[in-house]
Amino acid sequence: MSPWTEDEGTVLNNCRVDRDVFFLEVRAPNIAPASQPGQFVMLSGWDVHPLLPRAMAPIRFDTERAVLAIYYRVVGPGTERLSRLGPGSRLRLIGPLGTPLVPQHGPLALIGRGVGITPLLPIAEAAVQLGIPVRSYLSARTRPLLLEERRFVELGPLATHVAELDGPHTLVTEQLARDLEGGFIPAMAIVAGSGRLAQHVLMLAAQFGFRAQSFVEEKMACGVGYCKGCAIGNHGRLICLDGPALPLEEVL
Amino acid sequence: MSPWTEDEGTVLNNCRVDRDVFFLEVRAPNIAPASQPGQFVMLSGWDVHPLLPRAMAPIRFDTERAVLAIYYRVVGPGTERLSRLGPGSRLRLIGPLGTPLVPQHGPLALIGRGVGITPLLPIAEAAVQLGIPVRSYLSARTRPLLLEERRFVELGPLATHVAELDGPHTLVTEQLARDLEGGFIPAMAIVAGSGRLAQHVLMLAAQFGFRAQSFVEEKMACGVGYCKGCAIGNHGRLICLDGPALPLEEVL
Amino acid sequence: MANRLACHVAGLPLPNPVMPASGTFDYHPDVRTPVDVARLGALIPKSITLHPQPGNPPSRLAETPAGLINSIGIPSPGLAAFQDKFRSVYGGVPCPLVISVAGYSPDEYAQLTQACSRWPEVVAIELNLSCPNLKTHLMPAQDPILLRDAVQAARAATVKPLWAKLSPNVTTIAPMAAIAHDAGADAVVAINTIRAMAINIERQKAILGHFTGGLSGPAILPIGLSMVWDIAQHTSVPVIGCGGIRTVDDALMYLMAGASAVQVGTATFAHPAAMMDIINGLDRYLADQGIAQIADIIGIAKPA
Amino acid sequence: MANRLACHVAGLPLPNPVMPASGTFDYHPDVRTPVDVARLGALIPKSITLHPQPGNPPSRLAETPAGLINSIGIPSPGLAAFQDKFRSVYGGVPCPLVISVAGYSPDEYAQLTQACSRWPEVVAIELNLSCPNLKTHLMPAQDPILLRDAVQAARAATVKPLWAKLSPNVTTIAPMAAIAHDAGADAVVAINTIRAMAINIERQKAILGHFTGGLSGPAILPIGLSMVWDIAQHTSVPVIGCGGIRTVDDALMYLMAGASAVQVGTATFAHPAAMMDIINGLDRYLADQGIAQIADIIGIAKPA
Ligand SMILES: Cc1cc2nc3c(=O)[nH]c(=O)nc-3n(C[C@H](O)[C@H](O)[C@H](O)COP(=O)(O)OP(=O)(O)OC[C@H]3O[C@@H](n4cnc5c(N)ncnc54)[C@H](O)[C@@H]3O)c2cc1C
Ligand SMILES: Cc1cc2nc3c(=O)[nH]c(=O)nc-3n(C[C@H](O)[C@H](O)[C@H](O)COP(=O)(O)OP(=O)(O)OC[C@H]3O[C@@H](n4cnc5c(N)ncnc54)[C@H](O)[C@@H]3O)c2cc1C
Ligand SMILES: Cc1cc2nc3c(=O)[nH]c(=O)nc-3n(C[C@H](O)[C@H](O)[C@H](O)COP(=O)(O)O)c2cc1C
Ligand SMILES: Cc1cc2nc3c(=O)[nH]c(=O)nc-3n(C[C@H](O)[C@H](O)[C@H](O)COP(=O)(O)O)c2cc1C
Ligand code: FES
Ligand code: FES
């Protein structure tokens, strides 16, 4: 367990990106500078309802400005209330949480879908800074939901799949399969945001022999290992402490 | 029991008047046109928290524009959330509720303090329209809280007392006492917003022989007589059905 | 179009499974309100007692997170006065009528049940078993013997359907449901309010005049739901679900947990048309899912 | 300055009356968090069991209006493993330490109590009496005989203060508190979670892997408060209040209702520093009101 804290955050920007997806920038004086790739925060911008904070994996930690950038999809009462906070609103944050995921060897394959891709970008940036090559495979319902597509392109080859344009019947991991056949064997693949993509990667990992992790989600209460509510699999692993990324074979 | 309905209201205007007092205008298509002096509404602009609607006695029912004008003081979670609703927000309203109080004989003495005076204005206006003379005695903490002072002046003689200016040691009902001694004997006195003023009026009523009513407040759940939660006094009178104005001797 | 919502509670046909909880709604023949009583599954007015009584002293209400505590007691005109005005108020009631009665002894339950069964409009009697017994201070719904005696006495006094309304303030509720069933209740209603309290810290005293009261509202929904589930899992008595229902999703949870019908109480205060929304919502749900009748979803929730 | 907050629970001195509820907070000697453990009234880690056990299957959490249902069960390393790591984790704990133990028989309670009493850091043993008995499916906290036997067994195994944690799922709680007291508990803790359930209507199944669980959070505050009040009114056993406490006002309600101290659980999840806020708030309240010590407000709430 690594140190974490509680911040009184300030909303700097909170705007709609697509139908039900929003982009939030929040100043978190203590949490943002301490955050590492793979980590997440718990946030609440409300009082009694809903009761629990919500887990969010920032797409960017701006350590100098102490700002976290978050994409979120409105799916229930917590994200709905979040979407109504204007600049200047206060948010309670807990973090940084979870086990950092800073790759040591390369190359890296990053596979993600929709809002779920957010934790992949900090990992890609850390990897490139360490000189580790990165290839990304991203899919989304619509083009605007290929979040930060430009930034991913800057960091390495990017394959994309947009359901609206490319049809629902292919997976972006089919490009990964072609790359694997072409000789690109990653030291590690990291999946986020899609069980279907994770399934396919698990198959490819077995076939081509590489390690794979996946970001997983379960309802969380504390986010810090106290409540034991986020256990997954047969080993009693806690997503909030041992994850949020865990070996693919443990979570599928 | 008179007919009532449920309206989906729209906030037209919601602004601060004084430190913790706000002015709200809300379009209530069915309730506003049906409202009569002495009546109130229950409103909620939220979902689960707080659970119950809040009772408010409008200071004006604009039957043509179907608008209710309400002054409210922020004292807890309901009024706090109310104060954050901007124009265009939706409000649920139930009304019109309570027994109308349309005076038949005059003259009338209206005595009130602070935000509690709101139900007095519709009564004054109805009285003046029927040719019944009205004298008003209003007190408040600060000048801006002598709500709609100008309009009261248009309707008849007005005595005021502002604690901040006139000091805390006199009551506006001392002017009523002088008027009574001077020969002004009302057919009915109506008090709102202050137990202390009500006490004094009760004494004067006994001394000078006039009827007196007072607006009373108790926690309400339904506002329509179902829950029996707002009972007061020894006769099992329900504030929401038999009131909100009740004979002074029953409520003190 | 066949009425998808038509249902049965222990053999008693109802136009739909949505009705008010006793003490939270009533009917006035001449007054237009947002609730179209003709569309309700049934109407249940506030419990009546044999003798007139004033109810508890004010304050009677306290609000809590997602909950309401009430210590109304049962202000009641008494049976005689209720009988006098029955025809003028409920004579033309446009939906099935259930009368809730509250007694302080088995004999009172019997008298009330017998008297109220005479009216043809009344399709069932609901026994409010939550009046504290004068000797033990327990409610009949809390004590196996008191419960059995009250239900048996009422059973002997009517041939009409009898519903026993249970209290959540028991160690386990399924045995109480079984006792009520064995004693002659056709169905049970679960749950009544949960004992609760609020304190005004400025005044350093209880908020309610009667100092404790009963908690209702969304806060208690998960508790009521588990009790309905327990009754459905462990007994064969039909159960009417009650406690915290505010939306059609809440009603569906209770039906899926095993309730034959549902009662809506506190939600009506903030949103009087809540029952109408729930009835419309259930109908839309069945249509969308292609389900022919409400009976097909009752008790279908799987353990996990 | 004298410490206004210093207090006693059944004679046991504590620096202040605010402590975490078992299962919702823990201490890691090397990890800086927003909770300064040195300022807590006491620390109570999650209940431990005699033998290792994995806890309940996922999902383990469901959110309800102002409430949280958990079906964590008690994932536990077992006594032996706990003993092995005790010194390295709790050896230097900077506040009074209370160990919560959960057994499946009186003998297990005795073994756990005896073992945990040996450490000098441990100032009291809390008995979590909410493990379902393997034969009756009742929890010791629900059954007079099971309760008496468990507490007596633990009592015989230690001279340290013994706290019995009660369940709200009983007909009346004061008699259970009295039984625990008579059996040797120095104090009782009220309340543990309330049996509850949530259903996912899309999947038509229980949300929790163990299908029912226990409700905690603000929703249950008025229920816990009435139980603490009942125990204080009807027994002489000191009571530690627990259930839904989120703010200093909530803590004051429990203290005024008769609690000697309070435990904070679910509120810690949204606001880890909640206990710090409550401790600061209590101190400020006493200062503002000119009250010399916390003992002066315990049980001062008048009926109405
Ligand atoms: C480590 C972690 C990081 C996350 N990062 C992000 C992020 O960056 N952006 C983002 O938009 N979301 C993220 N999520 C998911 C986010 O926490 C949930 O969407 C949010 O809690 C929903 O809250 P709500 O009140 O709006 O809806 P709720 O009422 O809590 O849920 C609404 C519906 O969604 C379902 N649901 C909610 N949460 C989950 C879940 N965790 N898994 C599966 N189903 C769920 C519920 O069953 C319900 O049907 C993350 C989750 C985790 C665990
Ligand atoms: C018929 C009627 C008409 C009203 N008209 C107006 C109006 O026009 N403008 C206005 O500002 N207010 C009016 N009120 C009072 C208003 O309903 C309450 O102030 C409001 O419900 C408070 O809600 P809240 O959630 O903000 O605070 P709550 O949390 O409900 O209360 C905050 C504090 O105020 C106290 N309190 C709340 N309501 C009352 C009450 N009714 N009587 C005494 N103490 C109370 C509580 O005990 C608590 O300490 C009226 C009340 C009634 C019964
Ligand atoms: C104000 C109020 C009055 C009530 N009166 C009665 C009553 O007279 N008889 C009865 O059986 N239940 C009574 N109840 C309990 C309700 O019928 C219902 O069982 C309980 O409120 C739980 O449902 P809810 O959460 O939907 O309100 C009353 C509840 C409230 C809130
Ligand atoms: C996630 C979770 C785990 C819990 N684990 C335990 C436990 O191991 N032992 C115990 O005695 N109580 C346990 N409890 C109950 C709490 O200690 C407390 O009694 C209850 O949650 C009510 O308090 P609250 O509303 O402040 O949370 C747990 C509660 C929660 C929410
Ligand atoms: S969310 Fe509490 S242990 Fe993981
Ligand atoms: S508020 Fe329900 S009867 Fe008056």
Q: What is the pLDDT of residues A110-167, one digit of tens each?
A: 999 999 999 999 999 999 999 999 999 999 999 989 999 999 999 989 999 998 888 8
Scanning every residue of chain D, which has its alpha carbon at the shortest distance from the alpha carbon of A92? Answer: D271
The enclosing H or E element of C214 equals strand C212-216
A39 lies in some domain? yes
Asked if A11 and A87 touch (Cβ cutoff 8 Å), the reply is yes
Residue D280, marked binder = no
Chains that touch C (3 or more CB pairs under 8 A): A, B, D
Q: Give residue B188's identity as a one-letter amino acid code.
A: M
The DSSP annotation for chain D comes to: ---TT-EEETTEEESSSEEEPTTS----TT---SS-GGGSS-B----B-SS-B--PPSP-EEEETTEEEE-----B--HHHHHHHHHHHHTT-SS-EEEEE--SSHHHHHHHHHHHHTSTTEEEEEEE--SPPTTT---GGG-HHHHHHHHHHHHHT-SS-EEEEPPS-SS-HHHHHHHHHHTT-SEEEE---EEEE-EETTTTEESSTTSEEEEESGGGHHHHHHHHHHHHHH--S-EEEESS--SHHHHHHHHHHTEEEEEE-THHHH-TTHHHHHHHHHHHHHHHHT-S-GGGGTT--B--
Give the three-state DSSP class for A41: strand
What does residue B90 show for φ and ψ, rounded to 5 degrees? Answer: -95, 145
Q: Answer yes or no: is the C-beta of B97 below 6 A from any ligand 6 atom.
A: no
Residues in chain D: 304
- Report, as an integer, the average pLDDT of D233-244: 98
Query: For D3-56+73-200+218-297, CATH number?
Result: 3.20.20.70
Asked if C110 and C156 touch (Cβ cutoff 8 Å), the reply is yes
CA-based nearest residue to C95, from C295, C279, C291 = C279
Q: Give residue D41's identity as a one-letter amino acid code.
A: G
Binding residues of C for substrate: 46, 70-74, 128, 192-193
Q: What pLDDT, on the 0 to 100 scale, is given for residue B25?
A: 97
Judgement on whether residues A112 and A210 belong to the same structural domain of the protein? yes
Judgement on whether residues A119 and A203 belong to the same structural domain of the protein? yes
- pTM (2 decimals)? 0.96
CA-based nearest residue to D4, from D277, D268, D281, D253 = D281
Q: Give residue C45's identity as a one-letter amino acid code.
A: P
Judgement on whether residues B184 and B127 belong to the same structural domain of the protein? yes
Residues of C in contact with B95 (CB under 8 A): none
C214-268 pLDDT, tens digit per residue, is 999 999 999 999 999 999 999 999 999 999 999 999 999 999 999 999 999 999 9
Question: In Å, how far is A76's CA from the nearest CA of chain B?
Answer: 13
Residues 6 or more apart whose CB falls under 8 angstroms from that of A206 comprise none
Judgement on whether residues A61 and A35 belong to the same structural domain of the protein? yes
Boundary of a domain, candidates B34, B64, B97 = B97
User: Of C33, C66, C271, which is closest to B92 when you measure between CB atoms?
Assistant: C271
Residues of B in contact with A77 (CB under 8 A): 47
Judgement on whether residues A75 and A132 belong to the same structural domain of the protein? no
Eight-class DSSP state of B116: G
The enclosing H or E element of B176 equals helix B173-181
Task: With both helix axes pointing from N to C terminus, report the angle between C248-257 and C274-289 in degrees, rounded to the nearest 10.
Answer: 60
Rounded to the nearest 10°, the torsion over CA D164, D167, D173, D177 is -10
Within 6 Å (CB) of ligand 1, which residues are found? A 40, 50, 54-57, 70-73, 75-79, 115, 118, 217-220, 244
Q: Taking CB atoms and an 8 Å limit, are C64 and D212 in contact across chains?
A: no
Domain that holds residue A33: 5-97
CA-based nearest residue to A145, from A41, A62, A73 = A73
Nearest-CA residue for atom 11 of ligand 3: C128
A233 lies in some domain? no
Asked if C65 and C41 touch (Cβ cutoff 8 Å), the reply is no
Q: Taking CB atoms and an 8 Å limit, are A5 and D31 in contact across chains?
A: no
The enclosing H or E element of A120 equals helix A120-129
Residues of D in contact with C211 (CB under 8 A): 229, 303-304
Q: What's the CA gap between D60 and D72, in Å, rounded?
A: 5
Residues 6 or more apart whose CB falls under 8 angstroms from that of C57 comprise C209, C210, D304
Ligand sitting nearest the alpha carbon of A245: 1
CATH number where A167 lies: 3.40.50.80
Residues 6 or more apart whose CB falls under 8 angstroms from that of D6 comprise D13, D14, D15, D16, D293, D294
Judgement on whether residues A128 and A209 belong to the same structural domain of the protein? yes
Q: Taking CB atoms and an 8 Å limit, are B221 and C67 in contact across chains?
A: no
**Beta partners for residue A40, in sequence order:** A97
Judgement on whether residues A114 and A93 belong to the same structural domain of the protein? no
Distance set, CA C297 to CA C254, C260, D65, D205 (Å)? 10, 10, 24, 12
Q: Taking CB atoms and an 8 Å limit, are C198 and D171 in contact across chains?
A: no
- pLDDT-based confidence at B251, cuts 50/70/90? confident
Asked if C54 and B236 touch (Cβ cutoff 8 Å), the reply is yes
User: Of D55, D63, D70, which is closest to A51 when you measure between CB atoms?
Assistant: D63
Top mutation candidate among B60, B75, B148 for ligand 2, by most atoms within 8 Å of CB: B75
Task: With both helix axes pointing from N to C terminus, report the angle between C78-90 and C106-117 in degrees, rounded to the nearest 10.
Answer: 20
- Report, as an integer, the average pLDDT of A162-188: 90
Atom of ligand 2 at shortest range from CA of B77? 25
Residues in chain B: 252
Q: What pLDDT, on the 0 to 100 scale, is given for residue C2?
A: 64
**Beta partners for residue B139, in sequence order:** B113, B161
In this model, does residue D1 exceed pLDDT 60? no
Ligand sitting nearest the alpha carbon of B1: 6
CB atoms inside a 10 Å sphere around CB C160? 18
Average pLDDT, chain A: 93
Binding residues of A: 78-79, 222, 227, 230, 240
Asked if C273 and C30 touch (Cβ cutoff 8 Å), the reply is no
Residues 6 or more apart whose CB falls under 8 angstroms from that of A198 comprise A191, A214, A248, A251, A252
Judgement on whether residues B74 and B128 belong to the same structural domain of the protein? no
Pairing of strands D259-264, D18-20: parallel
Q: What's the CA gap between B61 and B69, in Å, rounded?
A: 7
Distance set, CA B193 to CA B143, B197, B250 (Å)? 16, 8, 16
**Beta partners for residue A93, in sequence order:** A7, A43
Asked if D27 and D91 touch (Cβ cutoff 8 Å), the reply is no
Question: In Å, how far is C218's CA from the nearest CA of chain B?
Answer: 8
Q: What pLDDT, on the 0 to 100 scale, is given for residue D136?
A: 76
The strand order across the sheet containing B60-62 reads B54-56, B40-44, B90-97, B5-18, B21-27, B67-73, B60-62
A85-119 pLDDT, tens digit per residue, is 999 999 999 999 999 998 888 899 999 999 999 99
A169 lies in some domain? yes
Judgement on whether residues A92 and A128 belong to the same structural domain of the protein? no
Atom of ligand 3 at shortest range from CA of C245? 26
Q: What pLDDT, on the 0 to 100 scale, is given for residue A91?
A: 94
B208 lies in some domain? yes
Chains that touch D (3 or more CB pairs under 8 A): A, B, C
- Report, as an integer, the average pLDDT of D101-105: 96
Task: With both helix axes pointing from N to C terminus, report the angle between C173-182 and C221-234 in degrees, rounded to the nearest 10.
Answer: 50
Judgement on whether residues A127 and A201 belong to the same structural domain of the protein? yes
Distance set, CA C292 to CA C8, C253, C259, C260, D46 (Å)? 15, 18, 18, 16, 49
In this model, does residue D12 exceed pLDDT 90? yes
Top mutation candidate among A36, A56, A61 for ligand 1, by most atoms within 8 Å of CB: A56
Q: What's the structural domain count of chain A?
A: 2
CATH number where A56 lies: 2.40.30.10
Tokens representing D234?
A: 């009807």
Residues of chain C with pLDDT below 70 are 1-2, 134, 304
What does residue B95 show for φ and ψ, rounded to 5 degrees? Answer: 170, -175
Residues of D in contact with B49 (CB under 8 A): 65-66
Q: Is B48 on the interface with D (CB under 8 A)?
A: yes
Q: What pLDDT, on the 0 to 100 scale, is given for residue C202?
A: 95
Q: What pLDDT, on the 0 to 100 scale, is given for residue C302?
A: 86
Residue D23, marked binder = no
Residues of D in contact with B48 (CB under 8 A): 65-66
The DSSP annotation for A87-109 comes to: TT-EEEEEEEES------SS-EE
Tokens representing C1?
A: 């179009």
Within 6 Å (CB) of ligand 3, which residues are found? B 221, 227, 229; C 21-24, 46-47, 68, 70, 72, 74, 100, 128, 165, 192-193, 216-217, 220, 242-245, 264-267
Nearest-CA residue for atom 10 of ligand 4: D22
In this model, does residue D302 exceed pLDDT 90? no
Q: How far apart are the first and last CA of chain C?
A: 35
- pLDDT-based confidence at B33, cuts 50/70/90? very high
Left (φ > 0), alpha (ψ -120 to 50) or beta: where does D273 sit? Answer: alpha
In this model, does residue D133 exceed pLDDT 90? no
A195-240 pLDDT, tens digit per residue, is 899 999 999 999 999 999 999 999 999 999 999 999 998 778 999 9
How far does Cα C283 stand from its chain's mean position?
22
- pLDDT-based confidence at D2, cuts 50/70/90? low
**Beta partners for residue D101, in sequence order:** D48, D127
Long-range contacts of C78-87 (CB under 8 A, 24+ apart): C78/C48, C78/C49, C78/C50, C78/C51, C78/C52, C78/C53, C79/C48, C79/C49, C79/C50, C79/C51, C79/C111, C79/C112, C79/C115, C81/C52, C82/C48, C83/C115, C86/C119
Q: Is B52 on the interface with C (CB under 8 A)?
A: yes
User: Of D24, D58, D63, which is closest to A231 when you measure between CB atoms?
Assistant: D58
